[in-house]
Structure 1
Amino acid sequence: MAEINHFEYGWITPALSYALSVLGSALGLVCAGRIRTATTGGQRARWGLLAAWALGGTAIWAMHFMAMLGFAVQGTRIRYDVPITAASTAIAVAAVGIGLAIVGTGRLSVVRLLAGGLFTGLGVAAMHYTGMAAMRLDGTLAYDPTRVALSVLIAVVAATVALWLSMTVRRGLAIAASALVMGIAVNGMHFTGMSALSVHVHDRQGELAGTEVSGLLVPIVLAVVFGVVGLVYALLAAPTEDDLAGAAYLDARRSPEHSRPTPEPTPDPVGLRGRTTLGSPGTPFPSRRDTSSR
């Protein structure tokens, strides 16, 4: 068995992977919170896609490959199959998006939460092992079934908690604390799955297909940067709850009930308003007989 090093560059790769998972989790939770306040189906779909990209694309997929920068196997080079790597991205984003759709449509219930967490967790695990299948090296990969099962269980639990937080957490401090916890869960799932791996290096070295991890670094960094900038811009450009409340108030003020002019009071120069006067409805004029008898 070949010696495996998960931290070839020291603490820098796990620190960056954790930072990416926390950043993506925070942005994903904020975007998921906008799903609850959206007023139209189009707005809900838009915020759902942004939340899926933040959680699946940044917090999970980008974190995975940032951690893989520090992965090395003694005695062999490592390359990556680009189409399979791209497929792992699609799996992560789609799994989170479908999970958000399950828990975000209708009233949140335990059944919806468990179903969404199970689907999303299995999707996250599928992303991880699809990304591992994209590796090309002069050796044979083997996995410990017990640790693989443990990593899948961690993924399902972490996904369930993440979906529950995305539907319930709204305040800034709670979002920050939740993102820190989610970062620990995502990284825990990754390194648990990596600990299940063992490699038997071949005696004869051959030509490896695929792209070196350094060649994937620039596209990954650019995708993360533009993705984060786009998410931040979308959040800043979107109206807040106070803006929506103010717009609703102005619409109410423009409604026909409020726009109908209030009738002005008739002038009352001699102060007779409220008194019964001669000639008023219901008050007969005095007859001549009554007048002459006075």
Structure 2
Amino acid sequence: MAPLKSLERDYPIIDSEFQHFCAFHGIFTVEDFLIHDLNALVMFVWKQPNSERLKQGIDQICFLLESMHRPWLNGVALLKDAQQNKQNKHVFSIGNEGIDSFLHDGLREGRVIELVGPSSSGKTQVCLRAAASVAKLCEGGVVFLDTGNSFSVHRIACFVSQNSNSTSIEGSHETFEKVMSNISCCRVYDIFGLLDVLHQLECKLKCEMQAGDHLVRLLIIDSLSSLITPILGGGGPNGHALMISAGFLLKKLAHEYSLCVLVTNHMVGGEGGLPKPALGESWKGVPHVRLLLSRDHRASNGYSFSMLKY
């Protein structure tokens, strides 16, 4: 979310005096308000000589937070909205018939799909295959956020070659060039970098929508859990709030801009030594679909999969 300073032009009440007061309490962005005890902050405000103006500033921030959420809808409205969305959404092949069938023909716009699995289970391979498949069909179609140098041009080339209908070297090369031109890869190293990139992407998508274009179709984050798990340690509220903020933003992008979102999540040891997804209970409600991958050398594609949530 935006730094408080960037809001001063549109909201004069959020002036330098208000920003200084917030900074004293460790609040520098709108996001920081999500993890702060607002009741305690308001109680402190009333002890200040300019309490009324400070309280107006807090009310303005709260209004901005509330405006980010969609209004309440009754059950009939929700059902109608879901039916309309299902009819209007495109479905893109992930490049693997088995996974496509599990996902009812592939990646559907408006959904956040999570690939869960241990190291070397094939999560990155699926992401690269999906990127190649969608980029071949859509102009400017894929944004790939790479958190650990997992993006491989060589693997993309292999997938393009496997699925190419061209019998000539020149034709295959042209297809590969088209696919690569339709993939934007960005390296992200922490949760703050991720939130910054996602906000930039939202601005891009908004401009595309206003211009009548729809170029970005698929957003891939490999691996999302590697950005979030480092901030969850210690049991403090900050990491949890940042995780929820990232999840909310991904679902917002998927829903409002008809985007397919594909993220990966690694496994950690759980009770009794049994593996479990690294992102915990609070996260599992974010993705619409959770697919568990595991390495299976007996399978023709090298891995097997099962549905955890649909």
The TM-score range, normalised by the shorter chain, is: under 0.3
Find the structure with the greater CA-based Rg.
Answer: 1
- Bigger proportion of residues as strand: 2
Task: Return the TM-score normalized by structure 1.
Answer: 0.22
- Bigger proportion of residues as helix: 1
Task: Return the TM-score normalized by structure 2.
Answer: 0.21
